[in-house]
Amino acid sequence: MVRLKHRYFLAEIIFPDGRRLQRNIKSNDVYFSVREALHAAYGDYGIGVLKSSLMVKYLNKDTHMVIVRAKRDFYRLAQAALTFVKKIGEHDAFLNTLHIGGTIRACQKFLIRHHRQHLPLLYQECDTQEERDNVQLMLLSSCVDMETFSKKTEEKERSLSEIAGESLT
Amino acid sequence: MAAFADLHVASTDQQVLQDVFQTAIKCFDWLAVNTFLTDLKGKGKKGQQQNQICQPEPVELTDQTRQLLKVEGRKVRQISRLTALLDDTTNTHKLVSPEVQAFDLLAVQPTNEAAFKLACCTLEVDIIVLNMTEKLSFYIKRPLVNLAIERGMHFEILYSPAVRDSTFRQNTISNALQLTSVCKGKNVIVSSGCEKAIELRGPYDLSNLGLLFGLSSPQSKNAVSKNCRAVLKHAEARKMMKSVVGVVKSSQLSPGDQWILDSKRPLSALPQTTQEIEQPPAKKGKT
């Protein structure tokens, strides 16, 4: 089949001077810094090989999460290039790869799980009561989502077993 | 490995060509000198000058070159080649004209998808060149490429631009990878497209470069030797049209092929043979 297969890297941009500052980073900045790193490490061959497939698919300025795409055959080159990134835009930063997935959806699923796990940590970092309340609300809503999610799956399983039971009798 | 060929020497200056030949004879057995045709149009409107297609001229080898060839006991065959830039799909009748057919090899460089489709499906050419130095403006589609391979056409990757400039190198690798992934490495030739003697490279290095372009190791070796030969055979077949037998005048036989004449029976013996055939065979009596 003529299906172009890619790998999607979910990476967190880590700024050494703390996380709270408001930064204006664009997906273009990330793209060019990855390309520069690729050129520095693998030269013209590295760029030639990933020229058509290297792309920044998702960037969240506030959570500093980025999804970068590369072709499956050469994704190791791209991953190595990600580790060599030193600067994004004007800011010093580096990329910490969290997950490599075959589809964007897989990366997004991981991202949701990752955020859910790290919300309680955020709660500890809060300074004011207002912030704490906000985070608590977020936590609760995510738990509610989890409850409804688990309830839905329970219902589905019950209905499936009923149907299976009917077919047997 | 078999004999190597460089099927695209882009320069047209005699002096440069002599240098190129002197450099190339060490490793290559066939060299094709290219004439690039930018326009396939016929007579222009309002009495514009028609694009004159110059006749292919053989390159005069210098004495030094001849000496080198003698020392090594090798022969180098010169092949004339024409590359036509294919923009407009309606003006292709010139390709069948005798001036164009006088060239040994015919190549076509399509610039858009319609031209590429035409080249793969209908045109009678030997090589399809794609401009690798810039991002391809169209996607290379698998059914068209398969059809071209079935018809015996080959796709060419030029490496001299990659040697010259960094951006060209990136684009060449990128486009070559796209091409080889679609055609699965079949029917690909690697040739220089050189404008100076310094841009030439040896065939073993080229077969290594093929690995960068996405070819596998045996495919890459074929790209410099076997596939080039296949192109030349295809060109010969195209010149002979659809025939099974080719006729060559005995006076025009090369000295290497003269033995064919010597081994045949002399003409005086022929009438006797016809008489023998005319007489009916003697019947055997009953024993």
pLDDT digits (tens, 9 = 90+) for B186-242: 999 999 888 888 889 999 999 999 999 999 999 999 888 899 999 999 998 888 766
Per-residue pLDDT reduced to its tens digit, B4-16: 888 888 877 888 8
pLDDT single digits (tens) A149-160: 566 666 666 666
Q: How far apart are CA B56 and CA B102, in angstroms?
A: 8
Q: Is residue A162 part of a domain?
A: no
Disruptive mutation site among B168, B170, B178, B182 for chain A (greatest number of A CBs within 10 Å)? B170
Q: For a pLDDT cut of 90, what percent of chain B falls above it?
A: 26
Residue at A169 is within a domain = no
Task: Evaluate whether residue A16 is within a structural domain.
Answer: yes
Question: How many domains is chain A built from?
Answer: 1
Nearest to A45 among B142, B171, B173 (CB): B173
- CB contact under 8 Å between A52 and B178, yes or no, is yes
Interchain contact, A44 vs B171, CB within 8 Å: no
In a domain, A167, yes or no: no
Query: Which residue among B142, B170, B178 places its CB closest to the CB of A44?
Result: B170
Q: What is the dihedral of CA A66, A67, A70, A75, to 10 degrees?
A: 80
Choice between B157 and A166, residue whose per-residue pLDDT is larger: B157
Q: pLDDT-derived band of residue A118, with 50, 70 and 90 as boundaries? A: confident
Asked whether residue A168 is assigned to any structural domain, the reply reads no
Chain A, 40 to 69: residues with Cβ < 8 Å from chain B are: 44-45, 47-49, 51-52
In A, minimum Cα distance to B174 occurs at: A48
| Non-local CB neighbours of B122 within 8 Å, separated by 6+ positions | none
Interchain CB distance below 8 Å, A48 and B178: no
Q: What is the pLDDT of residue B36?
A: 85
Determine the residue type at A116. R
Q: Is the pLDDT of residue A7 over 60?
A: yes
Q: B170–A47: do the CB atoms touch at under 8 Å?
A: yes
Backbone angles phi, psi at B245, to 5 degrees: -120, 135
The CATH number assigned to the domain holding A27 equals 3.30.70.3250
Q: Let me know if residue A165 belongs to a domain.
A: no
- Cα A12 from Cα A63, distance rounded (Å): 8
pLDDT at B46: 42
Apex A145 CA angle, A142 and A146, nearest 5: 90
Q: pLDDT class for B246, splitting at 50, 70, 90? A: low
Residue A146 tokens read as 């989890």
Range scoring the smallest mean pLDDT among A141-145, B62-66, B201-205, B230-234: A141-145
ipTM above 0.90, yes or no: no
Q: How would residue B179 be classed by pLDDT, with cut points 50, 70 and 90?
A: very high
Positive/negative CA dihedral, A114, A101, A97, B167: negative
In chain B, where does DSSP find H-type helix?
Answer: 14-24, 63-72, 98-101, 113-121, 142-150, 160-164, 166-183, 203-212, 217-224, 226-239, 259-263, 270-278
Answer whether residue B41 shows pLDDT above 80. no
CB proximity A90 to B under 8 Å = no
Q: Per residue in A60-86, pLDDT tens?
A: 888 889 999 999 999 999 999 999 999
Domain presence at residue A54? yes
Domain containing residue A55: 6-156
Q: How do residues B94-133 score in pLDDT, each as one tens digit?
A: 777 777 787 888 999 999 899 999 888 888 889 999 988 8
